[in-house]
Structure 1
Amino acid sequence: MIIATAGHVDHGKTSLIRALTGVETDTLAEEVERGLSINLGYAFMSQGSDETLGFIDVPGHRKFINTMISGISGVDMGLLVVAADDGPMPQTLEHIDVLEILGVARVCVVVNKVDRVDPSRVHEVLQQVDALIQPRRWPAHRSFGVSSVSGDGLDDLKDHLISTAAAHQRLRNSGGFRLSIDRSFNVKGVGLVVTGTASAGEARKGDPLELLPGGQSVRIRHLRANSQEVEHASAGQRVALAIAGKVSLKEITRGDWLVAPKAPPPALRLDVEVSLLSNAPFPLKHMAPVKLYIGAKRLAARLAHIDTPEGPLKPGESCLAQLILEHPISSIWGEPFLVQDHAETRILGGGKVLDPEGPKFGKARRARLCWLRALQTSDAQSALLQLLEAQLTVNLSRFWAIRNHRQVPENVFPIDEVREFQRDGTTWAVAEKQWQSASRWLKHHIDEWHREQPKSLGLKMTSLERALAHSFDLPLGLAVVEVLLRSGSLAHKEGHISRKDFQPAKSQQTLDHWEKLKAQLQRAGTALPLLTELLAQAQVPDSLAKQAIRLGMGRGELHELNNHRYALPSQLLHYYEHLSLAHDQGEALSVVVLKARFGTGRNLTVEILEHFDRLHLTRREGNVRVLLARANVQRALGVEP
């Protein structure tokens, strides 16, 4: 469990950690000289098992509030330290705000330096701090009076921390590994090293990782957790990673992320839920400039309101918003953040990330608002059911990816209430009643088209997609089309979708032209003419030939060998019988042999054989054909049995 100190400067945070762990966290010469923490300090205390308590000593001075914010992000407990002689100070309140905004689950109050005052003063300060903490998110907090110098109260505090850690439950290996880098440096003989607090997942020596936002691929060479060389590290541990890859120290900045491969990509827009502190100095207008703190990263942003009431966001209010960033960053659902005013003089509020890839347009549309409001729900299954009840088609692959899951979990929904389907490698889900509604709509829409356009082959797929997009989410509509095509309810011919049994109405003129073409082909016997010759012989105008040919093919009475030649089923059956006879007599089914058997030229022989290949009656192997199963010949050719 990771514990971070918080509190006003010179209230004894560093000395308290030293008394608890025996580790001096002020390591910079300037820190030792001034007695003032500038950088984050780290110390660890064994619990007598494989588990370790980790302490982050964050600076309390106003000048170093940015460092304090980066150190406190993602910890499990806040150790609020208040000096008994001074009592609560302005930065005490500010640090309490930071702990609450960043969602720190537990707080323990420590009134330090009790050796300097009488017991009544200790009691008074404890009451003052309890009054500050009670209205916040930690009404069940514990308070202790201690002295880092004399050791008074330290054993009770230590016992409490150890017992809390023993009961603490963290999903250490849940999801992909994530670590926000707070320090990076080169070590002679080791190479490039980065440090941070692992916020999710698990990493092992040799694992591949990605450095974001740059996207460089790296590999873990060595790994230290809680100041010890280890083979693997988990969420909730302080980690130092020696990494190898095509990356240099100058390419890494504070707040970059090391993540497991295939994590959500960096983005310039984060959709969030944000709250202003009740004591925020001023409201925030739409597109107000702010400083954003997320993980160990600090950067400029603008806060765009999504669903605020009229006017600016007032102190104490919350809303859905979009943070528009100056640089892309990596994030996931639930990541806490904090915002200050642009000049970085006051903490204004904070919240958590809902969608780490917010859209540039349409962020206030109904479907988008339903998506974000569902993401405000902590329980994933409840959020999904909320989306399905809103009649949305849910991209499950993305829903779970932004929650840092490597794949879509199985058996999340009742099988008879929710339909899952795949499209282009993406898993989707929709309520079964919504699926059935889309299916009924689609059938009705195509029936109406046939009624209004009786001569048309059906709806072009592009037109159908546009119609579907107006009534349903397009992935749902296309999935329904695919299922109905597979089931035989719909047919797809020449780029058109129709009911399977539908035949377009033809004019008498088109019927007459088809009969002329059919009769001329029958007269041609086995000498299949080119289309231009056929039209001239049948006296069918070029402008009307296409409709007549389409009618013959739609009836299954005509085969298209290519754009220039057509054949009747009976003609193709004649050629197939000669091919089959050559096979039975042991002849090689080459073009040369079959050309003689067919009594045709080379070009026509090749065209016939390629058509047989498409019908899966033959298969080309080198310069010869292999005869496939003959049981389906009549059906494949459309010959009446």
Structure 2
Amino acid sequence: MDTKYYTIGMAGHIDHGKTTLTKALTNVDTDRLKEEKERNISIELGYAPLHMKDNMHVSVVDVPGHERFIRQMIAGVAGIDLVLLVIAADEGTMPQTKEHIEILEFLGIKRCIVVITKIDTVDEEFLEIVTLDIQEQLASTVFHDASVVYADSISKKGIDELKEKIFYELNEIETRDSYGSFRLPIDQVFTVQGQGTVVRGTIYEGLVRKGSPLIVLPQQKKVKARQIQVHHQETDEARAGQRTAINLGGITKEEVQRGDVLVSSDHFLVTKVIDVSLKFVDEMNSPIKQRSLVKIHVGTSEVMGTIVFFDRNEVKQTSDEVLCQLRLHEEVVVRRGDRFILRRPTPVETVGGGWVIDPKGEKYRFGVETIEALMKKKEGTPEDRLKDVLFEYKLLDMQQIMQYTSLNEHELHDVLKKEVENNNIIEMTNDRFILSHQLITLQDELVNAVKDYHEQYPMRIGINKAELVQSYRDFYPKLYVEFAVEKLVEKSKLKKSEQYIALQSFASHFPKKWEKRMNQIIDHLKSDGIAVKRWEEYVKASQIPEKEIVDLQTFLLQSGEAYKLDEHLLVHKLSFEKALSHLKQETEQSFDLKTAKEILELPRKYLIPFLELLDELKLTSRLENERKWVKLKQ
């Protein structure tokens, strides 16, 4: 059964017990800053692992409740799958509670558990009144049917019931996409002494592996994932839905900040103009006018911009969806479907939120034609829908595409023909289609993977093709990866030797660190002729790591620099060829064991393995007590 990864978030008014509840669930105190301890409030995002049963890994995000720290709150909840709306029994819903609910709705979070905390501080009658008030507040929201759990974090009442409810809710949620290109909006940046720059965030999609080449956007800075941690535990990989810290090589702390995005592909858009579908809050202090200055929170970024309407000059109060445009003062990284929050800088308030229709908007005329075009774009053109499903599923046949896009056969045929002609889509084989830019991304990753393998194992002739294909099983179908490898071989970017894959320019070689000692081992082996010592004796004093010793032996055998007499004896190629030449010169068409012993003057310990090696190499053939040269002496 596949492991599932989720992130859940705490939301609610300040001092309603979010951090204490997090500690009761996880045994982790997420208030780690000195100022947080002194003021008894959360300022930065806090994270803790929640140990669940079965195949479920869960991270808890404790977000600040104070109004002044709303930016951190939005950054924290933007990547969550389930929210725990925390409301204190002795206070009930508060203004901050209402704003958090609006933010959660705008971000498209649909799963919620209401946790009424501090129940030991009130009597049953008061608790009933608070519960009715909460239900009334949620009645007109997407959380109207949210489960309610009563808990007290100090006495641990209701905590086990809450864990069961969390488990139930998460089981109903579809996991995030681990197969797409990796994307992690950064919400924290710090340094660790001796390690360098570390970034932290929730992985929105895809999977990252230790050693992977990555890009920090929007500054297009190339970096490498030197180390990956999930809740302080080092791991080789992390995937969508996990809270992750990544130690980056190639960048300083000053070159990266909260709001930047870490990706594995150069196909993510960096933009300053986005077309959006926007909804507004029920109550605003004043109207939002045409080209008003607004603050946009998307992912973990917070940027200023102006709002541009195409069918009105202001919004006073409306429950309608408004199609409009946001023109940003700074670049952001977004994709179609990403959610955002809109806030007014003065007076500070949340005014709305929505989702990105097109991350690369253009300048349009005011009027109904633009609204109709945005509506069509919102609903998605056949081309958009085709590319969206291929991006998600990687490799699809005609029947699958029709199912996923709801396009009929005629529409799909026309769209595919156009996209294939424009080289946006490739017909791979048997009516199966892939995106051209995804193939390029995969090929880049494959070349980098082979390059990394060469750096790690310079003495090996290459990586086993099956191993390379298998390593991408979580990203792409096997047929897709094999196709990508074959195309790279055709383009002479990779080469294939039997089952091994290598870079076209690669040649096996000794690692620089051990080159001198390895050559010394080979010299000693060569000087001992056929009567060699056990292999272990040549290498025991070299202090070369065991892994490198194993690779050295394999390198000598695969390159033909040495031959194996038995499990413990290796003989150098020159020594073998010298003995072979001497034996051939001194014998006729056939010879026996006694003759060979007299010529080579070798004890049986070496003679028998040597002669058996001749048989194995098909230089001789044995018949009873005699051996016959397969090829006559020249």
Does residue 1:57 correspond to 2:62, yes or no? yes
Q: 2:323 aligns with which of 311, 320, 323?
A: 320
Partner of 2:280: 276
Change over 3 Å in CA distance of 1:268–1:9 after alignment to 2: same
Partner of 1:426: 424
Change over 3 Å in CA distance of 1:270–1:15 after alignment to 2: same
C-alpha separation in 1, matches of 2:384 and 2:8: 37
Does residue 1:92 correspond to 2:97, yes or no? yes
Change over 3 Å in CA distance of 1:136–1:33 after alignment to 2: same
Change over 3 Å in CA distance of 1:257–1:313 after alignment to 2: farther
Q: Which amino acid aligns with 1:180?
A: P
Contact 1:53/1:162 (<8 A) preserved = no
C-alpha separation in 1, matches of 2:347 and 2:238: 35
Change over 3 Å in CA distance of 1:85–1:417 after alignment to 2: closer
Alignment of structure 1 residues 31-180 onto 2, 5 Å = 31-180=36-185
C-alpha separation in 2, matches of 1:199 and 1:126: 34
Partner of 1:639: none
Per the TM alignment, residue 182 of structure 1 is displaced from its structure 2 partner at its CA by: 0.6
Per the TM alignment, residue 274 of structure 1 is displaced from its structure 2 partner at its CA by: 0.6
Partner of 1:623: none
Contact 2:184/2:204 (<8 A) preserved = yes
Q: Which amino acid aligns with 2:106?
A: I
Partner of 1:547: none
Alignment of structure 1 residues 4-43 onto 2, 5 Å = 4-43=9-48
Partner of 1:182: 187
Partner of 2:335: 332
C-alpha separation in 1, matches of 2:393 and 2:191: 32
Rg larger in structure: 1
Q: Which amino acid aligns with 1:229?
A: E
Change over 3 Å in CA distance of 1:77–1:99 after alignment to 2: same
Per the TM alignment, residue 144 of structure 1 is displaced from its structure 2 partner at its CA by: 1.2
Contact 1:179/1:258 (<8 A) preserved = yes
C-alpha separation in 2, matches of 1:344 and 1:252: 30
More off after superposition, 278-287 vs 409-418: 409-418
Does residue 1:373 correspond to 2:375, yes or no? yes
C-alpha separation in 2, matches of 1:88 and 1:68: 18
Contact 2:273/2:326 (<8 A) preserved = yes
Per the TM alignment, residue 357 of structure 1 is displaced from its structure 2 partner at its CA by: 0.9
C-alpha separation in 2, matches of 1:41 and 1:400: 34
Alignment of structure 1 residues 392-403 onto 2, 5 Å = 394=383, 399-400=387-388
Does residue 1:416 correspond to 2:414, yes or no? no
Q: Which amino acid aligns with 1:265?
A: L
3-state DSSP of counterpart to 2:16: coil
Partner of 1:355: 358
Kindly provide the CA deviation profile for residues 430-456 of structure 1, in whole angstroms up to 9, marking residues without a partner as x: xxxxxxxxxxxxxxxxxxxxxxxxxxx
Per the TM alignment, residue 163 of structure 1 is displaced from its structure 2 partner at its CA by: 2.1
C-alpha separation in 2, matches of 1:313 and 1:358: 25
Q: 1:341 aligns with which of 344, 356, 365?
A: 344
C-alpha separation in 2, matches of 1:369 and 1:33: 52
Kindly provide the CA deviation profile for residues 389-443 of structure 1, in whole angstroms up to 9, marking residues without a partner as x: xxxxx4678x539x965968552244434312234533499xxxxxxxxxxxxxx
Q: Which amino acid aligns with 2:424?
A: T
C-alpha separation in 2, matches of 1:213 and 1:313: 34
Partner of 1:266: 270
C-alpha separation in 2, matches of 1:46 and 1:142: 21
Q: Which amino acid aligns with 1:275?
A: K
Partner of 2:211: 206
Change over 3 Å in CA distance of 1:84–1:170 after alignment to 2: same
3-state DSSP of counterpart to 1:293: strand
Change over 3 Å in CA distance of 1:146–1:331 after alignment to 2: same
Per the TM alignment, residue 323 of structure 1 is displaced from its structure 2 partner at its CA by: 0.6
C-alpha separation in 2, matches of 1:258 and 1:132: 38
Contact 1:192/1:243 (<8 A) preserved = yes
Q: Which amino acid aligns with 1:357?
A: K
C-alpha separation in 1, matches of 2:229 and 2:284: 40
Query: TM (normalized to structure 2)?
Result: 0.61
Per the TM alignment, residue 206 of structure 1 is displaced from its structure 2 partner at its CA by: 2.0
More off after superposition, 283-292 vs 318-327: 283-292
- Runs of 4+ in structure 1 displaced over 4 angstroms? 361-366, 368-371, 403-410
Per the TM alignment, residue 333 of structure 1 is displaced from its structure 2 partner at its CA by: 1.0
Per the TM alignment, residue 191 of structure 1 is displaced from its structure 2 partner at its CA by: 2.1
Contact 2:187/2:201 (<8 A) preserved = yes
Contact 2:295/2:305 (<8 A) preserved = yes
Partner of 1:478: none
Q: Which amino acid aligns with 1:73?
A: A
Per the TM alignment, residue 374 of structure 1 is displaced from its structure 2 partner at its CA by: 4.3
Q: Which amino acid aligns with 1:182?
A: D
Contact 1:233/1:239 (<8 A) preserved = yes
Kindly provide the CA deviation profile for residues 204-224 of structure 1, in whole angstroms up to 9, marking residues without a partner as x: 122222111001122211111
Change over 3 Å in CA distance of 1:407–1:144 after alignment to 2: closer
C-alpha separation in 1, matches of 2:391 and 2:275: 16
Contact 1:291/1:301 (<8 A) preserved = yes
Change over 3 Å in CA distance of 1:83–1:417 after alignment to 2: closer
Q: Which amino acid aligns with 2:388?
A: W
Q: Which amino acid aligns with 1:354?
A: I
Change over 3 Å in CA distance of 1:14–1:395 after alignment to 2: closer
C-alpha separation in 1, matches of 2:424 and 2:211: 30
C-alpha separation in 2, matches of 1:340 and 1:232: 36
Per the TM alignment, residue 74 of structure 1 is displaced from its structure 2 partner at its CA by: 2.0
Contact 1:52/1:226 (<8 A) preserved = no
Partner of 1:236: 241
Per the TM alignment, residue 373 of structure 1 is displaced from its structure 2 partner at its CA by: 2.4
C-alpha separation in 1, matches of 2:135 and 2:308: 36
C-alpha separation in 1, matches of 2:292 and 2:426: 36
Partner of 2:199: 194
3-state DSSP of counterpart to 2:21: helix
C-alpha separation in 1, matches of 2:368 and 2:270: 23
Partner of 2:308: 304
Partner of 2:532: none
Contact 2:275/2:357 (<8 A) preserved = yes
Change over 3 Å in CA distance of 1:190–1:373 after alignment to 2: same
Contact 1:3/1:76 (<8 A) preserved = yes
Does residue 1:287 correspond to 2:285, yes or no? no
Does residue 1:220 correspond to 2:225, yes or no? yes
C-alpha separation in 2, matches of 1:395 and 1:115: 54
C-alpha separation in 2, matches of 1:428 and 1:209: 26
Partner of 1:495: none
Change over 3 Å in CA distance of 1:128–1:216 after alignment to 2: same
Contact 2:196/2:252 (<8 A) preserved = no
Q: Which amino acid aligns with 2:202?
A: T
Aligned residues: percent identity? 32
3-state DSSP of counterpart to 1:376: helix
Per the TM alignment, residue 48 of structure 1 is displaced from its structure 2 partner at its CA by: 3.0
Q: Which amino acid aligns with 1:185?
A: F
3-state DSSP of counterpart to 2:109: coil
Change over 3 Å in CA distance of 1:210–1:396 after alignment to 2: farther
